[in-house]
Amino acid sequence: MIRIVKFLSSSLTIAEMEARKIRHDSTELWTRAVQPALWLLLFGEVFNRIKGITSSNISYITFIAPGVLAQSVLFVSIFYGITIVWERDVGLLTKLLSTPSPRSSIVVGKALAAGVRGIFQAIMIFGLTLIIGINLRLDPFDVISVFVVIVLFAMCFSSLSMTLASLLKTRERMMGIGQAITMPLFFASNAIYPLDLMPEWLRTISLFNPLSYVVDAMRSLLITGDYSGIPLDAVALVLSTLIFVSLASIMIRRLIE
């Protein structure tokens, strides 16, 4: 087999492994759906009564739906490193890395696996928006594009998480760092308020926050249907994903040494 075929086959096998685990036990999917539900039902409903947060004629709860989706995928991905540390602790990671599969294919596979979980999050949240009557553009093209965005996004941040895991090495530290970075990432983005409401300095920071591009792309696809910003979003997302996946591939062996 040629190298690229082997690489892809191994990555997909790792993702398949994750999918099979989800099939055996889906409780985690359901518990992870609780938080976005609270954001939409409580936070969204309450702030919906305040007019003028969003400039246009879309309601606030509609406005934050893509942000809440992005946030829940962010949580799944940023804590993905904990799974890796756990797999290291029980000897599973060592076993994976001693197979003939290239190490980078294992990392890409794990990142894809986070994407698989992200897609399940999206399906749950779409279901929720239908129930509470949030009006998203759920036609096939938009939904599939959102899935692509989610997979890239999950790959990006789960790779960041795996890189951190290679440096921090314990589950406790990973919990700590995960909590320390998710909130700043979330608030320094356009997830729950538009960029124009931000003070100048925060707006500058949000320009370097991959989450902003993800939310912008999702909002274009799911709400406005204005695709003009998407090429920039895509470039920013693909670039940061490539960087973090490569970084994680280089770092991962530190975890088992």
Partner 1 sequence: MYALQVKDLTKVYSSRIRAVDSISFNVESGEIFGLLGPNGAGKTTTIKMISTISRPTSGSILVFGVDAEKHPDKVRELIGYIPQSVSVDGDLTGYENLLIFSKLSYVSKKERDARIIFALEYMGLKERANELVKHYSGGMMRRLEIAQALVNRPKLLILDEPTIGLDPASKTKMWDYLKKMNREFGTTILLTTHDMAEADLLCHRIAIMNAGKIAAIGSPQELKMSVGVEMIKLCLDSSAIEKLVIPDELGKIIGYENSSVIISVENAEKKIPSIVEYLLKRGIKIESISFNKPTLNDVFLKYARVAFEEGESYSQARMTRRVFARRSR
Which positions touch partner 1 (CB under 8 A)?
Answer: 1, 6, 9-10, 13-14, 16-17, 20-21, 24-25, 89-92, 94-102, 253, 256-257
d(C-alpha 152, C-alpha 77), whole Å? 11
Smaller CB distance to partner 1: residue 120 or 193?
120
Least separation in angstroms between CB 175 and partner 1 = 18
Length of the chain: 257
Least separation in angstroms between CB 32 and partner 1 = 16
Smaller CB distance to partner 1: residue 243 or 256?
256
d(C-alpha 218, C-alpha 122), whole Å? 11
Query: If you write DSSP's letter for every residue of the chain in order, what string do you get?
Result: --HHHHHHHHHHHHHHHHHHHHHH--HHHHHHTHHHHHIIIIIIHHHTTSTTSSSSSS-HHHHHHHHHHHHHHHHHHHTHHHHHHHHHHTTHHHHHHTSSS-HHHHHHHHHHHHHHHHHHHHHHHHHHHHHHT------HHHHHHHHHHHHHHHHHHHHHHHHHHHHH-SHHHHHHHHHHHHHHHHHTTTSSS-GGGS-HHHHHHHHT-HHHHHHHHHHIIIII--GGGHHHHHHHHHHHHHHHHHHHHHHTHHHH-
Smaller CB distance to partner 1: residue 206 or 249?
249
Smaller CB distance to partner 1: residue 13 or 48?
13
Smaller CB distance to partner 1: residue 90 or 180?
90
Least separation in angstroms between CB 75 and partner 1 = 20
Least separation in angstroms between CB 120 and partner 1 = 16
Least separation in angstroms between CB 89 and partner 1 = 8
Smaller CB distance to partner 1: residue 2 or 183?
2
Least separation in angstroms between CB 36 and partner 1 = 24
Least separation in angstroms between CB 23 and partner 1 = 10
d(C-alpha 3, C-alpha 8), whole Å? 9
